[in-house]
């Protein structure tokens, strides 16, 4: 989670990571893990999501969840933690006629994705898919971003420790909350699931 809210501006990283480094309240991620385990296999396109999570190039593996969605001439989401994706990003997108055409290279392996089963059945495994794990992180990021804003509105001096506004000032807390929620929404879209988004 700390990597997802890292910034090129050290003070912004300190603000966004401040509450995340405190003893965590993990109820939101825990609920998502429990719901995931209880419903795996029942959701739409479950077999495809399971396949994507175990086949490189499927789009659902852990290291594929941070690949940017838009070419660099449209949106630059610079995050120092994800520099290793820059070269891979350039290979995955082709610029044509000055207009970016997103030509993702999903499913490059010889094996084809499974055909979608019509009857949902509970999956016997209690595994958590990388996309489900990422969703749990996103929920915590949205909550923590809202805490940064909440402490400004309430003029709180404490939140188990000194509040972010007390430690970093109001403007930085507001900016940190905006930044964290924005990063959470980018991560949400990178799940490539309109229903979840």
CB 146 within 8 A of CB 179: no
* 182 is a domain residue: yes
Taking every pair of C-alpha atoms in the chain, what is the biggest distance, in angstroms?
58
How far from the centroid of its chain's Cα atoms is residue 142's Cα? Answer: 10
Beta bridge partners of 100: 95
* Three-state DSSP state, 59: coil
Looking at residue 163, what is its pLDDT? Answer: 85
Locate the DSSP E strands across the chain: 94-96, 99-101, 158-159, 161-162
* 83 is a domain residue: yes
Nearest 5°: phi and psi at 92?
-80, -15
The whole-chain average pLDDT of the chain stands at: 76
What mean pLDDT comes out for the span 148-175?
Answer: 85
Beta bridge partners of 158: 162
Looking at residue 116, what is its pLDDT? Answer: 61
In terms of residue numbers, what domain contains 170? 3-104+126-189
What mean pLDDT comes out for the span 5-11?
Answer: 86
List pLDDT tens digits, range 17-29.
988 888 777 788 8
List pLDDT tens digits, range 17-71.
988 888 777 788 889 999 988 888 887 777 888 888 888 877 788 878 877 666 6
* Three-state DSSP state, 159: strand
* 109 is a domain residue: no
pTM to 2 decimal places: 0.73
CB 57 within 8 A of CB 108: yes
List pLDDT tens digits, range 167-195.
998 999 999 999 999 999 988 988 888 88
**Site of tokens 């016997």:** 124
* Count of structural domains, the chain: 1
* 111 is a domain residue: no
* 116 is a domain residue: no
**Site of tokens 């995931």:** 36
Cα 138 to Cα 141: distance, rounded to the nearest angstrom: 5
* 121 is a domain residue: no
**Site of tokens 């603000």:** 15
Number of H helices and E strands in the chain, helices first, is 7, 4
Which of 1-15, 134-148, 165-179 comes out lowest in average pLDDT? 1-15
* 34 is a domain residue: yes
* 43 is a domain residue: yes
List pLDDT tens digits, range 99-142.
333 334 444 455 666 666 557 677 777 788 899 999 999 999 99
């Amino acid at each position: 989670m700390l990597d997802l809210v890292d910034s090129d501006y050290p003070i912004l990283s300190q603000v966004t990571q401040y509450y995340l480094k405190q003893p965590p309240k993990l109820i939101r991620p825990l609920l998502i893990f429990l719901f995931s385990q209880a419903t795996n296999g029942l959701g739409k396109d479950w077999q495809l999501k399971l396949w994507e999570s175990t086949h490189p190039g499927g789009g659902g593996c852990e290291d594929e969840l941070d690949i940017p969605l838009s070419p660099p001439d449209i949106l630059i989401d610079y995050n120092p933690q994800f520099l290793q994706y820059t070269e891979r990003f350039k290979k995955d997108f082709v610029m044509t006629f000055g207009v970016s055409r997103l030509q993702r290279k999903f499913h490059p392996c010889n094996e084809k994705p499974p055909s979608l089963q019509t009857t949902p059945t509970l999956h016997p495994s209690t595994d958590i898919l990388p996309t489900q794990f990422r969703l749990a992180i996103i929920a915590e990021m949205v909550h923590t971003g809202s805490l940064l804003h909440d402490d400004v509105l309430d003029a709180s001096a404490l939140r188990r420790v000194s509040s972010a506004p007390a430690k970093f000032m109001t403007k930085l807390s507001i900016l940190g909350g905006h930044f964290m929620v924005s990063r959470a929404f980018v991560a949400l879209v990178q799940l490539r699931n309109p229903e979840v988004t």
